Amino acid sequence: MRTSFSPTQLADPEIAEANGILETCVHYGFCTNTCPTYVLTRDENDSPRGRIDLIRAMLERGGVPEAKTVHHLDRCLSCLSCMTTCAVKVDYAHLIDRARAHIERHYRRPWADRFVRLALAKLLPHPRRFAAALRVGRAARPLAGLLPRRWQVLTDMIPAASNQRPHLLAPGVCAPEGPRRRRVALLAGCAQQALDGAINAATVRLLTRHGCEVVIAQGAGCCGSLTLHMGREASARAWAVANVQAWTRVQADGGLDAIVVNASGCGTTVKDYGHLLARDPDWAEPARRVAALARDVSEVVADIGLAAPAKPVTYRVAYHDPCSMQHGQRVTREPRDLLRAAGFQVVDVPEGHFCCGSAGTYNLLQPDMAAALGRRKAAHIAGVDPDVVATGNIGCMMQLRRHLAVPLVHTVELLDWATGGPRPPALANVSLRTRAPPVAAGDSPGASGSAGGDIGFW
Amino acid sequence: MPSSYDAFFAEIEAALSADAVNRSAETLQRYAENTMPGGDRLPAGVVYPGSTAEVQVIVRAANKHAVPLYPISTGNNIGLGSRSASRPGQVVVDLGRNMSSILAVDERLGFAVVEPGVSYQAMYDELVRRGDKLMLDVTSGPPQGGMIGNAMDKGAGYTPYFDHFGFACGMEVVLGNGDVLRTGDGVLDSSELVNWHTSKYSFGPILDGLFTQSNYGIVTRMGMWLLPRAPAIRSFHFAFPEDDDLAEVIELCRPLKLSNFVPTLFRVSNDLYLCGSEGESPEYRASGGKRAISDAGRRVLREKTGVGAWTVSGAFYGPSAAAIEPQIARVVDHFTRSGKAKYIAHDEAANIPPLQVAINAFSGIPSLGELGLLKWRPGGGNIWFLPGTPMDGKLANEFQRLCRTIYEEHGLDYTVMNVCGPRFARGLHVITFNREDADERARADACYRKMSEEVARRGVFVGRAPLDYHDFHMAQAMPAFRNVCAAIKRAIDPNGVLAPGRYGIG
């Protein structure tokens, strides 16, 4: 795509970066049909190709963006399905982040929007504040009808107390069971701790059982992705620097084999710290080192090799690929392989490349689009008739629980359970159907791993 | 009769809905785009029918107001025209937007019935949802490509059901006058049609072929046969070191297909067809795109990727990997006897991305890997030259030398996959070029025309053609063929409203 930035504009490294990305787009349009918002609206401006054009026009003109541009860019999920599809590998992720930062700097949203965004930016990254806000919100729920719709949406999203298991991990070191095979730092995270502490608990058990010394670094916190995707770059960078500092200290004090992330939305951001802090003279190099160490928990366990299952768990698991995992990190095989190795029957979800509508704060800021996507994803999951749904991102879990009747857990909870840990809390009091042991998998690259069925000669 | 676009669009909005018409500048610009050397073609508007009845309304209105239409399914025909109409000013009928239902899947008889917007990915997803018992033959192109659009353009895949038109059965077609025609056993004048999608041959002439690569009707429904998925699919691959090894490769493939010992087609890909999907040409920037990549550069890429000057891929289906192993062993013995071929086993190939594309294709799994070829040169230009050769090694190698030379004369990179059956191989020649560079664009165009003329001089025609070359190729056809095509057009689309110019007709 041809652009027309002035030399003065191109002297700005951020514009220069955007220009380089824009020039790679050749408008093939493969991205349109895999973009969830385009598929729902069929509006070119709700497609990556259309948004790239809007971003080009906005950045070329500079200054205050048009409301129409903001509307369509706000509707982008940053699911990055377009990046998987794109034949010429346009770096849309960094382009949309650049656009969001521009909007945040130059566009004055209506006061209610500003207030909601500010509240999310100040609450979600802080687990204690967020847990308190959830309690307040739950108490206020009976009065939700009196609130403006924007606030009703937020109170609607608050999980029932029975579905919320807050548990904050304290900084410290968890010793491995048996000889130490790896020393890893675990990103304890922010909102996830307030929403579902069972995930971190299962992660620590799983890792220590597999010989990992697990360090919860003093000073590490939110990864920064929540604010980054709201255009608040300075805040995101501050979080990133804090984490880089914390993990660099840990690395200096005993070494680190990996930085383990169990929320894939966060993992995508941590793996990209090298880019986020590239222009920070003090932290660019440490950030690159940290990013190079970042791994999804499934990558780490797959690398070590899953211990032999402690109990038969032949349940049918629908594995939902979080967008940040499949499009952001390209980690798709490890979770499936691990679940199969643990004894579960793993089935894929149709339209797997599609976002469930969670997308960080998206389901709070764009509730209608998010709900449509959530219902669509839930219907596909229900269609494969699973006993349980596994995924690797807290955002997807919270979103899908609103639309699904099937129990939903993090992949590590199932792996922990199969290898000797407790039954996941979400499966308490749930009667699971016993299945026949899976046939030998691996011969066929078919999606289910147990292809053939009862049709025909085979 | 002069065209009356405003009246046409008003009539469509009134009969369908306001949402069924889009004439915004940004939409038209998008639908105008293609990857051809000849430039974009701005349509007059886009209409979105939701049913066969609505397609009839559109076609009848087009006749009334003398408005030319251009139907598309999902518009992923990259390298052959994308969503771009044959001529500027046509109205794109986008069937993919609102006609994307899988109407039926018969698991016992093994077929699906689909609307034009159903993509390979959507069909695959549905089959997975149903337990992954049936396999759809897919192309190695865009997963969002449409099943009907591909079959109607005589597209193909690689499994035993590779021939997408051949394995289509039973169509519903809106003709140029707005009438609806059913084909195959569907011609029976009854509302109970038991064999519509199970028997292609019924009473009377077989009309289905009229609607391939033509502009005689708009296919709104089609049956497609599906293969039961085997429990095990194991591929095999052989890398040959020299360009002229193609002669031996073709001779080795032929008996395995004539005997049907190997159930898939063979993918016989040259080095750039495989390595080209892994990134931009390492020599493009240095030469400014003026020269083809050097032999030394190709060797480096081959070594880095782990493929040959030619790499052969095929696959077996069976109850288990162990049961297939003896067949693989026979093929390995067959291919390695001369000492030239290096065997690449299934598990090793699964870790070589361009060969994983082949595994996916043999397994009926849509995948994106091959789209990387479009990035070989910057600027987004892409056309496909699709001649064929008999499965005669000497002849195939002569064509290889001829086309390689023509590519190089035009400063372009010879990139080809021969898809081999028992008697014939289709040569998928990719011409990737910088569409933003006028000189390179002109060279791509000249390269395409020169190759077309040279192979035609040797008795070879193309099997499909990019949009820019429909008239050019029609002029290569014998007069009687041109006359018959024109006469059919006059008979069933007398006002010439359906895609005038498509494949050089009307």
Same domain, B439 and B296: yes
At B463-479, the pLDDT tens digits run 999 999 999 999 999 99
Kindly tell me if the per-residue pLDDT of B13 is higher than 80.
yes
The verdict on A87 touching B (C-beta cutoff 8 Å) is yes
Q: Name which of B122, B132, B228 is nearest A458 (Cβ-Cβ).
A: B228
Give the domain CATH number at B11.
3.30.43.10
Give pTM, 2 decimals.
Answer: 0.89
Chain B residues in contact with A440 by the CB 8 A cut-off are 320
The verdict on A384 touching B (C-beta cutoff 8 Å) is yes
Chain A residues in contact with B228 by the CB 8 A cut-off are 452-453, 455-458
pLDDT at residue A456, rounded to an integer? 64
Q: What is the average pLDDT value for chain A, to the nearest integer? A: 92
Q: What is the total residue count of chain B? A: 506
The verdict on A136 touching B (C-beta cutoff 8 Å) is no
Chain B residue with minimal CA distance to A49? B30
Full residue range of the structural domain in which residue B316 is found: 232-465
Kindly tell me if the per-residue pLDDT of A439 is higher than 70.
no
pLDDT-derived band at B150, boundaries 50, 70, 90:
very high
Q: Closest Cα of chain B to A118: distance in Å? A: 34
Q: Which amino acid is at A222?
A: C
Average pLDDT over residues B178-195: 95
Q: Domain ranges for chain A, please list them.
A: 7-106, 172-301, 306-427
CB contact under 8 A, A30 and B142: yes
Kindly tell me if the per-residue pLDDT of A448 is higher than 50.
no
Which of B180, B206, B228 is the last residue in one of the domains?
A: B228
Same domain, B352 and B435: yes
At B391-432, the pLDDT tens digits run 999 999 999 999 999 999 999 999 999 999 999 999 999 999
**Residue B46 within any structural domain of the chain:** yes
Kindly tell me if the per-residue pLDDT of A268 is higher than 70.
yes
Same domain, B454 and B365: yes
CATH label, A306-427, candidates 3.40.640.10, 3.40.50.1860, 3.10.28.10, 3.20.20.60: 3.40.50.1860
The verdict on A118 touching B (C-beta cutoff 8 Å) is no
Q: Closest Cα of chain B to A27: distance in Å? A: 8
pLDDT-derived band at A112, boundaries 50, 70, 90:
confident
**Residue B253 within any structural domain of the chain:** yes
At B216-259, the pLDDT tens digits run 999 999 999 999 999 999 999 999 999 999 999 999 999 999 99
**Residue B478 within any structural domain of the chain:** no
At A139-181, the pLDDT tens digits run 888 887 777 777 777 787 787 777 677 788 999 999 999 999 9
Domain count, chain B: 3
**Residue B488 within any structural domain of the chain:** no
**Residue B443 within any structural domain of the chain:** yes
pLDDT at residue A449, rounded to an integer? 46
Which of B177, B200, B228 is the last residue in one of the domains?
A: B228
Same domain, B184 and B236: no
Q: What is the average pLDDT value for chain B, to the nearest integer? A: 96
**Residue B173 within any structural domain of the chain:** yes
Separation CA A27–CA A264 (nearest Å): 29
3-class secondary structure per residue, chain A: CCCCCCHHHHCCHHHHHHHHHHHHCCCCCHHHHHCHHHHHHCCHHHCHHHHHHHHHHHHHHCCCCCHHHHHHHHCCCCCCHHHHHCCCCCCHHHHHHHHHHHHHHHCCCCHHHHHHHHHHHHHCCCHHHHHHHHHHHHHHHHHHHHCCHHHHHHHHHCCCHHHCECCCCCCEEECCCCCCCEEEEECCCCHHHHHEHHHHHHHHHHHHHCCEEEEECCCCCCCCHHHHCCCCHHHHHHHHHHHHHHHHHHHHCCCCCEEEECCHHHHHHHCCHHHHCCCCCCCHHHHHHHHHHEEEHHHHHHHHCCCCCCCCCCCEEEECCCHHHHHHCCCCHHHHHHHHHHCCEEEECCCCCCCCCCCCCHHHHCHHHHHHHHHHHHHHHHHCCCCEEEECCHHHHHHHHCCCCCCEEEHHHHHHHHCCCCCCHHHCCCCCCCCCCCCCCCCCCCCCCCCCCCCCCC
Percent of chain B's residues with pLDDT above 90: 97
pLDDT at residue B273, rounded to an integer? 98
In this chain, the answer to whether the domains covering A172-301 and A306-427 adopt an identical fold is: yes
pLDDT-derived band at A454, boundaries 50, 70, 90:
low
At A203-241, the pLDDT tens digits run 999 999 999 999 999 999 999 999 999 999 999 999 999
At A3-29, the pLDDT tens digits run 999 999 999 999 999 999 999 999 999
Mutation site, B125, B130, B430, interface A, largest A CB count within 10 A: B125
Chain B residues in contact with A442 by the CB 8 A cut-off are 321
Q: Name which of B82, B132, B374 is nearest A88 (Cβ-Cβ).
A: B374
The verdict on A26 touching B (C-beta cutoff 8 Å) is yes
Same domain, B202 and B279: no
pLDDT at residue A159, rounded to an integer? 78
Which of B228, B253, B281 is the last residue in one of the domains?
A: B228
**Residue B357 within any structural domain of the chain:** yes
Q: Name which of A89, A347, A350 is nearest B375 (Cβ-Cβ).
A: A89
Same domain, B122 and B49: no
pLDDT at residue B412, rounded to an integer? 98
Give the domain CATH number at B169.
3.30.465.10
CATH label, A7-106, candidates 1.10.1060.10, 3.30.160.60, 3.40.50.720, 2.60.120.10: 1.10.1060.10
Chain B residues in contact with A50 by the CB 8 A cut-off are 26, 30
Same domain, B45 and B119: no
**Residue B205 within any structural domain of the chain:** yes
Q: Which fold has domain A172-301?
A: Rossmann fold (3.40.50)
CB contact under 8 A, A89 and B321: no
